Structure 1
Amino acid sequence: MIYISILIVIVAVGVYVYLQRPQFDAPSVEEQSYQGKYYQGQFHNVNEVPVTTSDDNFFVGLYKFLTDKTQDAKPAAELPSQKTDLLGLDPNENIVVWMGHSSYFMQLDGQRYLIDPVFSDSASPVPGTNTAFAGSNVYHAKDIPEIDYLLITHDHWDHLDYPTLEALRDKVAQVVTPIGVGSYLTQWGYTNDTIFERDWFEVFNAHQSTDIYVLPAQHFSGRMLQRNQTLWGSFAIVTPNHKVYFGGDSGYGPHFKQINEQLGGFDLAILETGQYSKNWPFIHMMPEETAQAAEDLEAQAVLPSHNSKFRLSNHSWYEPLDRLSEASRDKPYRLLTPLIGQSVRLDDEGQVFNAWWQPLKSE
């Protein structure tokens, strides 16, 4: 019995020590209304929606997810990629590079942007879980040039990655985040004067008439058990020549039309499609809703996000791309499906991409 007690103490001490790592730092938010979204000690969506519609508690839900037998939940083979040499790019070339899941590099009108970079092999507080699919994690901090603007949509582990941000710190000139997310970065060594942390529909006046808007999303936040201590959001980058929208994580809602009404149509909308479930229909979009959101935004082109790197839900890894491709037939926008690492030329409307995932599907 004494040995069991000693083992329990050792495990407890080990867990306590592990939880002191910077990844588990708590955010800091000044309590105020934030346009009516902050009350009862946390942020809320404008249209109050549940995170899940399931009656299962957290532990039952986790058990069901871990024991689920979804066919092709992970790729059977290594995913293909086409790794663009970011360090060797012409800085005046307007391109977007998808780095898998929700991570993007962009050059736009002479400025470099990095959105939700996650270069770790896993995106979870528990080591060895939620590991990246083979072939999906091809970029690392050493591959990234100097960044003018780092944008973080929210604090979930698959969007806010401490090892990545620590490695990038000396390469980043300016950070733009929703309320509270910047407080993680200041604890991780970023200086206050490099952090622009704002509410929805507030704008950072960037370089040469470029505006970066912090915009709504219908989602939630939290890195451990306590939720909604920081705000979640999306971004629009508006220059004299381009408009690009990064949707982050979001369920479908009226905010897409609202964003369009304020900022007009977009040259490109990067929208989530993946990690959806019938149990959380309000905080992630089904692919058909992604297609509708693209129309609401009056996007000329759509780049699907939040897929093909991590398994966070119980659908096949390729289903989001299949369903969005079908839902995008005869739509007024171009659907762009590059390989991980492949350059998307923003000014080339004739650039064509193949359904690269099709040959990798099991029979």
Structure 2
Amino acid sequence: MVSAEERYLDKFFGRFLLVVSCTVSRFLKIASESFCKEGKLKKVVLGTSLLVGVIALGCWVYLQHPKFGKLPAGELLAMVERSPHYVDGEFQNLVDTPVLTEDRSTLSILIENLRSSSEGLRPDDDIPSVKTDLHALDADEDIVIWLGHSSYYVQLSGIRMLIDPVFSVDAAPIPFANRAFAGTNPYTASDIPPIDYLLVTHDHWDHLDYPTIKALKPQVGEVLTGLGVGAFFEKWGYDSEHVHEGDWNDTFELENGLTLYVLPARHYSGRMLTRNRTLWVGFAIESPDRRLFFSGDSGYGPHFAEIGQRFDGFDLVSLDHGQYDPRWAYIHMTPEEAAEAAEELGANTLLPAHVGKFSLAQHPWQEPFERITSASEERDYRLVTPMIGEPIWLDDSEQRFGAWWR
């Protein structure tokens, strides 16, 4: 559970930002008046120095919050450095992948977002959901349940898995910066039955959620994730013997005849200023009866066709498609690219992902659902669009879902 001290740090930073904004506003007014008077320059310089010092101290205190995790060190760092994909102190994508398109910068995006309208980015009403009782499910049923955004509950061959669970209302380092849509958190950690394997694709806030990971700890058997991400779990109290890291194309033999494949994605990592010190991955899960693929966050690239050729198709694939933006065109797919990737993967069923819970890009929240529906017409796969918590029965190829977002 999140401690009282950690909750205090969150409250502290929220109040700190409010105080700083008021102080800066007042200081700028005083400074402008002071410059008009002789002999006031030294006071302005001193005041500026003090203000910068207070801001720096406040930020440093907040950054001590355990939710920021830690970077790999010791043996975990040695494993990272042995990876052929770790070059010059960073993990590299298989193809050139700038985080932002060539004519963009972080500052320009912030300015554009402040100037642009927020109309339609978030739903006006609560997102509908179905709160399936996960404890009551027959463990022998093969099921995938979308829990919103890129979170999933999976049952396969009697094994329970949880992928990228996020049950918090915020998916950002600063409170209120990226709030979940109303109605998208019907589940809490107490609703989750004992989990055999917890899978985490990468360390971004909307996939690796500190309060959720802490709350789930008593229910989790083993953790499987990409290189370097295990450092977060160690920081958050997990036994390192039960945390397993993999590089792209590594394989883990699981219980009940399941095999987990750690596969490439086209993305990046990092929770604050440091980037690409941990690996971002997708997962393929294979049982004696079926095969599933979860892309994690990924832009479109040749790796999808290569994965499809390697595995000769999938019963179900879940693909990133909901946070596309021309300003970061290489690290997230458009719905049309996701439809193409699904065919390259040899998907029988496509489950859209990275959608329906957070607004990260500047398009109407329901637009990805409409575009993936149109892009999937005349395709060889079946598109499924369940509500949050609505089971996909993998033995039922005729199961259909409504357009609940309309």
Q: TM-score category by the smaller chain?
A: over 0.9
**Which stretch shows the higher mean deviation, 88-97 or 116-125?**
88-97
Residue 329 of structure 1: aligned partner: 377
**Which stretch shows the higher mean deviation, 182-191 or 230-239?**
182-191
- Once residues 262 and 177 of structure 2 are traced to their aligned partners in structure 1, the CA distance between those partners, rounded to angstroms, is 31
- Once residues 118 and 166 of structure 2 are traced to their aligned partners in structure 1, the CA distance between those partners, rounded to angstroms, is 25
SS of alignment partner, residue 107 of structure 1: strand
* 1:32 aligns to 2:76 (yes or no): no
User: 2:157·2:256 contact (CA, 8 Å) conserved in 1?
Assistant: no
Aligned with 2:230 (options 182, 187, 202)? 182
User: 1:273·1:321 contact (CA, 8 Å) conserved in 2?
Assistant: no
SS of alignment partner, residue 32 of structure 1: helix
Residue 324 of structure 2: aligned partner: 276
- Once residues 41 and 320 of structure 1 are traced to their aligned partners in structure 2, the CA distance between those partners, rounded to angstroms, is 35
| Cα offsets for 1:304-351 (capped at 9, x unmatched) | 000010010001101101000000001111000001111111111111
**Which stretch shows the higher mean deviation, 127-136 or 48-57?**
48-57
Residue 162 of structure 2: aligned partner: 114
Runs of 4+ displaced beyond 3 Å: 1-12
Question: Larger Cα Rg: Structure 1 or Structure 2?
Answer: 2
Q: Percentage identity across aligned positions?
A: 49
SS of alignment partner, residue 344 of structure 1: strand
- The letter of the residue matching 1:27 is L
Residue 290 of structure 2: aligned partner: 242
| Cα offsets for 1:119-139 (capped at 9, x unmatched) | 110100011110001111111
* 1:309 aligns to 2:353 (yes or no): no
- Once residues 130 and 81 of structure 2 are traced to their aligned partners in structure 1, the CA distance between those partners, rounded to angstroms, is 46
Aligned Cα RMSD in Å?
1.5
- The letter of the residue matching 2:312 is G
| Cα offsets for 1:36-66 (capped at 9, x unmatched) | x211110010111211115343233223224
Residue 219 of structure 1: aligned partner: 267
* 1:23 aligns to 2:67 (yes or no): yes
Structure with more helix by fraction: 2
User: 2:70·2:235 contact (CA, 8 Å) conserved in 1?
Assistant: no
Relative CO higher for 1 or 2, CA cutoff 8 Å, sep ≥ 6? Answer: 1
| Cα offsets for 1:181-217 (capped at 9, x unmatched) | 1111111111111111011111110012210010000
- Once residues 190 and 168 of structure 2 are traced to their aligned partners in structure 1, the CA distance between those partners, rounded to angstroms, is 13
Residue 361 of structure 1: aligned partner: none
SS of alignment partner, residue 63 of structure 1: helix
Q: CA deviation at 1:17?
A: 1.4
* 1:143 aligns to 2:187 (yes or no): no
* Aligned pairs for 1:117-196 within 5 A: 117-196=165-244
- The letter of the residue matching 1:51 is V
- Once residues 53 and 4 of structure 1 are traced to their aligned partners in structure 2, the CA distance between those partners, rounded to angstroms, is 36
* 1:93 aligns to 2:141 (yes or no): yes
Q: CA deviation at 1:90?
A: 1.3
- Once residues 207 and 215 of structure 2 are traced to their aligned partners in structure 1, the CA distance between those partners, rounded to angstroms, is 15
Q: Give ranges in structure 1 of 5+ residues lacking alignment.
A: 359-363
Residue 27 of structure 2: aligned partner: none
- The letter of the residue matching 2:362 is N
- TM-score when normalising by structure 2: 0.85
- Once residues 99 and 325 of structure 2 are traced to their aligned partners in structure 1, the CA distance between those partners, rounded to angstroms, is 11
- Once residues 70 and 127 of structure 1 are traced to their aligned partners in structure 2, the CA distance between those partners, rounded to angstroms, is 18
Q: CA deviation at 1:247?
A: 0.6
| Cα offsets for 1:50-96 (capped at 9, x unmatched) | 11115343233223224321541110111111111111111111111
- Once residues 33 and 342 of structure 1 are traced to their aligned partners in structure 2, the CA distance between those partners, rounded to angstroms, is 42
User: 1:196·1:204 contact (CA, 8 Å) conserved in 2?
Assistant: no
User: 2:226·2:280 contact (CA, 8 Å) conserved in 1?
Assistant: yes
